C-alpha cells in the first residue's frame, strides 16, 4: 500500500457563509468532499472545527488527524443519499439492544449489569416513553413492536449530520438506547462508553489484560467520544 499523502497547498484557511450554512475555503477555494460535493455545513461551530483541522495540517495532509472532516464527508457523501436506509439499520439495534441481554450467571455479573444497565432503560422509559425488556441469555427475544416503532421514528428525525454521529454512537456501543442517552446528555459520554464496555471489563477482570485488545478498545473509545462531539455541533 502506498504511503503517499497530498501536500499542503494552501496558505490561508477560513470559514465563510454558503447557501444552506457554512463552508471552508483554502486560499479562497472551497473544500469539497471526496465525492466532489460541496462541503456545506449546518453550523458555525462545525465549520470552525473543520477549518481548525485543515489549518493544523503541516507539510502533508493526514486525514487521520481530521475526524470532523471525515464525519462531515460521511454525512454528505453517504448519509445524505441513503438517510432512510441508515436510519432503519440503526433502529434495528433496538430489537437486540446490548442493555437487554443479561448473563445467566455468575450472580456478580448479573448484579453489575442490573446496577449499570437498568438505570439507562429506566431513563428511556421516562424520557422517551419506551420500555425495552431485559432477557436472560443470548438467544434473540423480540421487543414490543410499538416501542421499536417509536424509537425508529426518533432515529429518522435526525438530520444527516446528526445521523452520521448517531451511527457511530450506536454501532460502537452496540446499543440504540445508549446512543440516545449520549445524544440526550443523560450523563457524560465517557461514562456511557464505560457502561457499554461492562461485559468486556468483566472478561478482563477474569482473564487478565490483553494489550492488543486494549489498543483496539481505545481506538473505539476515541471514535465514540468524537461522535458525541460531532453530534453536539450538528444542530
pLDDT of residue 173: 98
The answer for 185, left when phi > 0, alpha when psi is -120 to 50, beta otherwise, is left
> Tens of pLDDT along 198-230?
999 999 999 987 889 899 999 999 999 999 999
Question: Which residue, 130, 191, 126, 133, is CA-closest to 155?
Answer: 130
Coil/strand/helix, residue 92: helix
Which architecture, in CATH terms, is 83-232?
Orthogonal Bundle (1.10)
In sequence order, what DSSP letters do the residues of 184-217 get, joined into one string? TTSS-HHHHHHHHTHHHHHHHHHH---HHHHHHH
In CATH terms, the fold of domain 13-66 is ATP12-like (3.30.2180)
- C-alpha distances out from residue 107 to 165, 182, 206, 216, Å: 35, 28, 14, 29
Place 1 in a pLDDT band, splitting at 50, 70 and 90. very low
Per-residue pLDDT band for 7 (boundaries 50, 70, 90) equals: confident
The pLDDT score that the predictor gives to residue 5 is: 67
Could you tell me the residue ranges of all domains in the chain? 13-66, 83-232
One fold for both 13-66 and 83-232?
no
Distance separating alpha carbons of residues 133 and 137, to the nearest angstrom: 13
Q: Which helix (H) or strand (E) holds 12?
A: none
Angle at 211 between CA 209 and CA 215, to 5 degrees: 120
Helix (H, G, I), strand (E, B) or coil at 180: helix
- Report pLDDT digits (tens) over 68-110: 999 999 999 999 999 999 999 999 999 999 999 999 999 999 9
**For 103-149, what is each residue's pLDDT tens digit?**
999 999 999 999 999 999 999 999 999 999 999 998 999 999 999 99
Question: pLDDT tens for residues 12-57?
Answer: 999 999 999 999 999 999 999 999 999 999 999 999 999 999 999 9
Asked if the model's pLDDT at residue 178 lies above 60, the reply is yes
- Report the range of poorest mean pLDDT among 35-39, 59-63, 156-160, 189-193: 59-63
Amino acid at each position: 500500500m502506498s504511503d503517499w499523502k497530498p501536500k499542503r497547498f494552501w496558505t490561508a484557511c477560513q470559514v465563510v457563509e454558503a447557501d444552506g450554512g457554512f463552508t471552508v475555503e483554502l486560499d479562497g477555494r472551497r473544500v469539497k468532499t471526496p465525492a466532489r460535493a460541496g462541503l456545506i455545513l449546518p453550523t458555525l461551530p462545525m465549520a470552525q472545527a473543520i477549518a481548525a483541522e485543515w489549518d493544523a495540517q503541516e507539510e502533508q495532509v493526514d486525514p487521520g488527524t481530521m475526524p470532523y472532516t471525515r464525519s462531515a464527508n460521511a454525512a454528505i457523501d453517504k448519509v445524505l443519499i441513503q438517510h432512510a436506509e441508515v436510519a432503519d439499520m440503526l433502529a434495528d439495534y433496538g430489537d437486540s439492544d446490548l442493555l437487554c441481554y443479561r448473563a445467566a450467571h455468575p450472580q456478580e455479573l448479573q448484579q453489575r449489569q442490573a446496577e449499570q444497565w437498568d438505570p439507562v432503560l429506566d431513563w428511556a422509559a421516562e424520557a422517551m416513553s419506551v420500555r425495552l425488556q431485559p432477557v436472560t441469555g443470548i438467544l434473540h427475544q423480540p421487543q414490543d413492536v410499538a416501542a421499536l416503532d417509536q424509537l425508529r421514528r426518533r432515529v429518522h428525525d435526525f438530520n444527516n449530520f446528526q445521523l452520521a454521529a448517531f451511527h457511530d454512537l450506536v454501532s460502537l456501543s452496540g446499543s440504540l438506547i445508549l446512543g440516545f442517552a449520549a445524544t440526550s446528555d443523560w450523563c457524560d459520554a465517557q461514562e456511557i462508553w464505560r457502561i457499554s464496555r461492562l461485559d468486556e471489563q468483566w472478561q478482563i477482570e477474569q482473564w487478565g489484560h490483553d494489550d492488543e485488545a486494549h489498543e483496539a478498545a481505545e481506538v473505539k473509545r476515541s471514535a465514540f467520544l468524537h461522535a458525541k462531539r460531532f453530534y453536539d455541533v450538528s444542530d
